[in-house]
A and B are shown apart, each in its own frame.
Chain A
């Protein structure tokens, strides 16, 4: 499902992605197991992100990673992947797919638009491409993935209605 909002210089699309939160040390068997599943090595630097056509893989803290599946994986396939990861006792892989809402922001005024809702510094010298940040947007916890020409912003699913109303309200005002 893709629901869109648009205004002057801002386009927002809601996406249906899947997401796994990984906890662990990130090296050795962790990296090996994860790489075996998604053919990507976990990013080592905090708040850095790597991606390929299937996944966005971001390091959220010293022992936490977020893996966003960009392709619409089958329930069974994802479940199998999580089980494989969890079979490694050095990894906790939790399926958070449906507990999150995913929004893509683009347009030449997306930064100005977002700064109506958050104090976060979007200037590329402070928030370079392929990095992530966790901050408050419209007073709720969000994660921002900087994809250079667009941002992917996720928030808890329970806030989805509120967040969408705030997004629309900000466009209307």
Chain B
């Protein structure tokens, strides 16, 4: 192996290529022309282009997690790469699916829509599974774990394209105070200067020398940042563009490094200098391997030093093929023939001179009728100007049907385009954003005019000077083209086709049929035929389709209009879009200060918003959640338990009008509340529905601290801020979130007082000194703790608020002092069970945005004498006070061995018919359900119609296996209704 030789495998066979080769150039180097099978008809397909516009040569990279649909014309080879062709079985040469080609006469446009209509049931069981199995080209990737990253840029000017125009623009901006980002799709600058030999010299230097000097200048300019191997894929509003950088060009992707980088660019101005794309022509069997775009053929020679064929036939309708002709002749590769649609007089003198000097047969005013061959071209049929048919033996055909400015990004930016009758293409007409187009993307195909265009269009930028450029070109400067979209087809065989979209196997006949069936609007026609709906978006063919349709409709192309080019410009990997927001970073995680302790003590975590909360703690390896919850809850009731409640939202409220503010925000009245006391409070939305709940601690009339639900913390603060700032700016009140400043422990159980008295031995926790719903702040060691006597379990309980820095130490001290008391850490599931036994609600579980305090029997929480509070007026609406609203009740199964499932329907009927032919009357649904180890039976809460009136009656709860469980309706308070435990 020499230094430059690289070996890779294609369909199991080992090939050698040169460093820098794409898969396509390496295969062509090895004279491999058949690389894939087409989407629908499984026709043999070859390499059609030399770039991103490729519709045919899509392959699967086996050693890159089976990455499918990779463009062989873009992907660079590396040592050991394993490539496989797609959409064929058992082999590329002998593909069983090619039977589709034989059946192709019935697979016309709209085949799927018309065919799979019946019989009933066939779609689901036969058609869809079958179509899904056969659809698509490659197979999905396996075990893919990408490390793609994102990178943001903020610049003044973005230049898309490092060809001649882009480089001139960058050169003009070098040294200015503008931040410039220059993006080039290939791994080297140059564009057309590298792809063809159209330009002879620049400023009397070889183009390569000029490129080197220019690149050096740009690299030394501190205001210019350069990205290569990067494709701009999306042009959004506000000059926001995204681009994909391939960091693994020509190397095997390293699992530890990003393979792709998604660049997100925000810019003041965008310069689009992204060039043009050559288009093809439709003729019989224009898809046979061996047909290639002329400019691509030239690019293979220029960029990769590969001559795909020594004696191709050239077929053109324009002047751009001169450079290919000259290049071939310079390499002593004499084309077999030169077929030009144009009249002899229109063909450039330079071209004719070359043809004549080298005795190359040329056919003016002629066209290719079609190609013949099995898996590649063997013969090419030419119809001469006198309608004489000639057959030329050749294995490659270079086609040029004209040049399209690459307007995809421009149209994505919402820029308007206009049809140019002279160059027969759409070109940018009016920018919607601050977008400038330069060079061939703006329809300027004449090199000598580019410098004037650059100087003129960029002169509005402060600090730029005009630059000079002396450019010498090969051949004529003028671009000359004759309109032709499809040639006349002599062969009436059912299996010979003239394609308009190679990737989706759409033929020109399909276009004709679609129009005949009434799809005469271009957007309808596109969807009916799937023309230009492949991943290439018809880059080489969509304009041709417009041309053909315009002829069929007898309209001009501008009347037919153009379809919409949609982002992304080329396929973007999901891994690039996701970036690092996958796997361990799928969502940001919030942890409490006690998290390491929870992990050490086998907590199983539950996601509450972004918080990681202990769900339950496994005492032994195989303990189930149910077992753990039963154990934890029993222990809390019998001894004591501790919950990490740090995730609770906490808001500090202060100001001269704090009392009035709190009175307005919550339903309760706080006016007569004593300082250093607390109250369970309810917050409503303006619609009167329960929005949040929490405990309001009153330090004094000017200073409060409130808690919120864990998930509601941010919303409640912003709700309060909104009212403070916009509705009641007259109130002197300020708010701060102090959620993160305090860790919170909830200690509950008959022995909680004993434990706390040991930990805080200078505090009197007696009922008399520390009654229920009071709080105080204490010095402990060298910091302050706030202790609130409150409970969410119905047991004697306390909440301790401590700065996170000291939280873990205090938590461990509590356990230290509880060695003989059997303190159990409990998780959120046990908390839910304990509160359900007491009938305490959870916002979001017993409520769903349609539940009022009246529905929850929380009338006692509404300050009747209060002048106003948010939601008050809504509570008097007729719909809110009507008697048949759903109300919260408790349910106990009549047979206490049964369990009630959460979320099940509550119904009146004892039986659910096996065949449901009319709606069953639903009373409501079960909001919470648990098995209570203290009560030794299931308990549930439910929201049911006229629930309060039904207390004492028997109703039914459905089960997941279509049975019902008879239940008794009770008040939603199953344990200690007198609150003896709570107040003990």
- A residues with a Cβ closer than 8 A to B are 21, 23-24, 63, 75-76, 79, 86, 89-92, 94-100, 112, 115-116, 118-123, 126, 138-140, 156-162, 165-166, 169-170, 172-173
Chain B residues lying within 8 Å of A138, measured Cβ to Cβ, are 588
- Given A115-B152, A118-B152, decide whether A89 and B656 contact each other with a Cβ distance below 8 A: yes
CB-based nearest A residue for B705:
A94
Chain A residues lying within 8 Å of B595, measured Cβ to Cβ, are 161
Chain B residues lying within 8 Å of A100, measured Cβ to Cβ, are 740
Give the distance in Å from the alpha carbon of A144 to the alpha carbon of B179 in the complex: 22
Is B508 on the interface with A (CB-CB < 8 A)? no
CB-based nearest A residue for B651:
A94
Pick the contact of A96: B149, B655, B741 (CB < 8 A).
B741
CB-based nearest B residue for A119:
B152
Give the distance in Å from the alpha carbon of A48 to the alpha carbon of B323 in the complex: 61
Interface size class of B (residues with CB under 8 A): 35 or more
Shortest 4 CB-CB distances between A and B: which pairs? Answer: A99-B740, A23-B734, A158-B590, A121-B154
Chain B residues lying within 8 Å of A122, measured Cβ to Cβ, are 154
Nearest Cβ on chain B to A161's Cβ, whole angstroms: 5
Give the distance in Å from the alpha carbon of A139 to the alpha carbon of B580 in the complex: 11
- Given A89-B702, A115-B152, decide whether A79 and B784 contact each other with a Cβ distance below 8 A: yes
Give the distance in Å from the alpha carbon of A90 to the alpha carbon of B585 in the complex: 42
Nearest Cβ on chain B to A69's Cβ, whole angstroms: 14
Give the distance in Å from the alpha carbon of A21 to the alpha carbon of B735 in the complex: 10
A sample of 18 cross-chain residue pairs with beta-carbon separation below 8 angstroms, ordered by A number, consists of: A23-B736, A76-B782, A89-B654, A89-B732, A90-B656, A92-B735, A98-B740, A99-B738, A99-B740, A99-B741, A157-B593, A158-B611, A158-B740, A161-B595, A162-B585, A166-B580, A170-B149, A173-B580
Chain B residues lying within 8 Å of A162, measured Cβ to Cβ, are 585, 588-591
Nearest Cβ on chain B to A112's Cβ, whole angstroms: 8
Chain B residues lying within 8 Å of A166, measured Cβ to Cβ, are 580, 585
Judge whether A90 and B150 touch: CB under 8 Å. Answer: no
Give the distance in Å from the alpha carbon of A165 to the alpha carbon of B588 in the complex: 10
Nearest Cβ on chain A to B776's Cβ, whole angstroms: 15
Judge whether A92 and B264 touch: CB under 8 Å. Answer: no
Give the distance in Å from the alpha carbon of A138 to the alpha carbon of B589 in the complex: 11
Nearest Cβ on chain B to A85's Cβ, whole angstroms: 10
Judge whether A139 and B581 touch: CB under 8 Å. Answer: yes
Judge whether A90 and B258 touch: CB under 8 Å. Answer: no
Within 8 A of A (CB), among B607-632: 611
Chain B residues lying within 8 Å of A63, measured Cβ to Cβ, are 734
Is B256 on the interface with A (CB-CB < 8 A)? yes
Judge whether A158 and B591 touch: CB under 8 Å. Answer: yes
Is B832 on the interface with A (CB-CB < 8 A)? no
Is B978 on the interface with A (CB-CB < 8 A)? no
Judge whether A173 and B147 touch: CB under 8 Å. Answer: yes
CB-based nearest A residue for B652:
A94
Most buried by B among A89, A112, A120, A140: A89
Chain B residues lying within 8 Å of A139, measured Cβ to Cβ, are 581, 588
Give the distance in Å from the alpha carbon of A92 to the alpha carbon of B904 in the complex: 48
Nearest Cβ on chain A to B241's Cβ, whole angstroms: 13
Is B151 on the interface with A (CB-CB < 8 A)? yes
Nearest Cβ on chain B to A130's Cβ, whole angstroms: 20
Is B949 on the interface with A (CB-CB < 8 A)? no
Nearest Cβ on chain A to B225's Cβ, whole angstroms: 10
Chain B residues lying within 8 Å of A158, measured Cβ to Cβ, are 590-592, 611, 740
Give the distance in Å from the alpha carbon of A96 to the alpha carbon of B736 in the complex: 9
Pick the contact of B266: A23, A94, A119 (CB < 8 A).
A119
Give the distance in Å from the alpha carbon of A165 to the alpha carbon of B584 in the complex: 9
Chain B residues lying within 8 Å of A173, measured Cβ to Cβ, are 147, 149, 256-258, 580
Judge whether B735 and A23 touch: CB under 8 Å. Answer: yes
Judge whether B256 and A172 touch: CB under 8 Å. Answer: yes
Give the distance in Å from the alpha carbon of A99 to the alpha carbon of B736 in the complex: 12
Chain A residues lying within 8 Å of B735, measured Cβ to Cβ, are 23, 92
Pick the contact of A92: B256, B592, B736, B804 (CB < 8 A).
B736
Nearest Cβ on chain A to B83's Cβ, whole angstroms: 27
CB-based nearest B residue for A99:
B740
Pick the contact of B734: A24, A95, A115, A118 (CB < 8 A).
A24
CB-based nearest B residue for A160:
B591
Nearest Cβ on chain A to B724's Cβ, whole angstroms: 10
Give the distance in Å from the alpha carbon of A37 to the alpha carbon of B741 in the complex: 22
Chain B residues lying within 8 Å of A94, measured Cβ to Cβ, are 652, 736, 738, 741
- Given A89-B702, A90-B732, A161-B591, decide whether A75 and B783 contact each other with a Cβ distance below 8 A: yes
Give the distance in Å from the alpha carbon of A162 to the alpha carbon of B592 in the complex: 12
Judge whether B741 and A159 touch: CB under 8 Å. Answer: no
Is B448 on the interface with A (CB-CB < 8 A)? no
Judge whether A159 and B585 touch: CB under 8 Å. Answer: no
Is B803 on the interface with A (CB-CB < 8 A)? yes
Give the distance in Å from the alpha carbon of A21 to the alpha carbon of B654 in the complex: 13
Judge whether A159 and B736 touch: CB under 8 Å. Answer: no
Give the distance in Å from the alpha carbon of A119 to the alpha carbon of B179 in the complex: 16
Judge whether A86 and B654 touch: CB under 8 Å. Answer: yes
Is B896 on the interface with A (CB-CB < 8 A)? no
Other A-B contacts than A119-B152, A162-B589, 17 sampled, CB-CB below 8 A, are A21-B736, A86-B654, A89-B654, A92-B652, A92-B734, A95-B741, A98-B740, A98-B805, A99-B741, A116-B152, A123-B154, A158-B591, A160-B591, A161-B589, A165-B584, A166-B585, A173-B580
Judge whether B154 and A126 touch: CB under 8 Å. Answer: yes
Give the distance in Å from the alpha carbon of A112 to the alpha carbon of B261 in the complex: 14
Chain B residues lying within 8 Å of A115, measured Cβ to Cβ, are 151-154
Give the distance in Å from the alpha carbon of A32 to the alpha carbon of B782 in the complex: 30
Chain B residues lying within 8 Å of A79, measured Cβ to Cβ, are 784
Most buried by B among A118, A162, A166, A170: A162
Give the distance in Å from the alpha carbon of A170 to the alpha carbon of B579 in the complex: 11
Is B85 on the interface with A (CB-CB < 8 A)? no
Judge whether A97 and B654 touch: CB under 8 Å. Answer: no
Give the distance in Å from the alpha carbon of A151 to the alpha carbon of B616 in the complex: 41
Give the distance in Å from the alpha carbon of A115 to the alpha carbon of B153 in the complex: 7
Judge whether B740 and A96 touch: CB under 8 Å. Answer: yes
Chain B residues lying within 8 Å of A156, measured Cβ to Cβ, are 590, 740
- Given A86-B654, A115-B152, decide whether A123 and B179 contact each other with a Cβ distance below 8 A: yes
Chain B residues lying within 8 Å of A23, measured Cβ to Cβ, are 654, 734-736
Give the distance in Å from the alpha carbon of A92 to the alpha carbon of B258 in the complex: 47
Is B739 on the interface with A (CB-CB < 8 A)? yes
CB-based nearest B residue for A23:
B734
Most buried by A among B257, B591, B734: B734
Give the distance in Å from the alpha carbon of A161 to the alpha carbon of B734 in the complex: 31
Judge whether B580 and A169 touch: CB under 8 Å. Answer: yes
Give the distance in Å from the alpha carbon of A100 to the alpha carbon of B803 in the complex: 11
Within 8 A of A (CB), among B698-738: 702-703, 732, 734-736, 738
Nearest Cβ on chain B to A138's Cβ, whole angstroms: 7
Nearest Cβ on chain A to B653's Cβ, whole angstroms: 8
Nearest Cβ on chain A to B786's Cβ, whole angstroms: 12
Chain A residues lying within 8 Å of B179, measured Cβ to Cβ, are 123
Most buried by B among A99, A139, A173: A99
Nearest Cβ on chain A to B710's Cβ, whole angstroms: 11
Nearest Cβ on chain A to B144's Cβ, whole angstroms: 17
Judge whether B738 and A116 touch: CB under 8 Å. Answer: no
Chain A residues lying within 8 Å of B152, measured Cβ to Cβ, are 115-116, 118-120
Give the distance in Å from the alpha carbon of A116 to the alpha carbon of B262 in the complex: 10
CB-based nearest B residue for A19:
B741
Within 8 A of A (CB), among B804-821: 804-805
Judge whether B149 and A116 touch: CB under 8 Å. Answer: yes
Chain A residues lying within 8 Å of B738, measured Cβ to Cβ, are 94-96, 99
Most buried by A among B152, B266, B805: B152
Give the distance in Å from the alpha carbon of A119 to the alpha carbon of B256 in the complex: 24
Give the distance in Å from the alpha carbon of A159 to the alpha carbon of B256 in the complex: 25
Chain A residues lying within 8 Å of B740, measured Cβ to Cβ, are 96, 98-100, 156-158
Give the distance in Å from the alpha carbon of A79 to the alpha carbon of B786 in the complex: 14
Chain B residues lying within 8 Å of A120, measured Cβ to Cβ, are 152
Judge whether B585 and A165 touch: CB under 8 Å. Answer: yes
Chain A residues lying within 8 Å of B784, measured Cβ to Cβ, are 75, 79
Chain A residues lying within 8 Å of B805, measured Cβ to Cβ, are 98
Judge whether B736 and A121 touch: CB under 8 Å. Answer: no
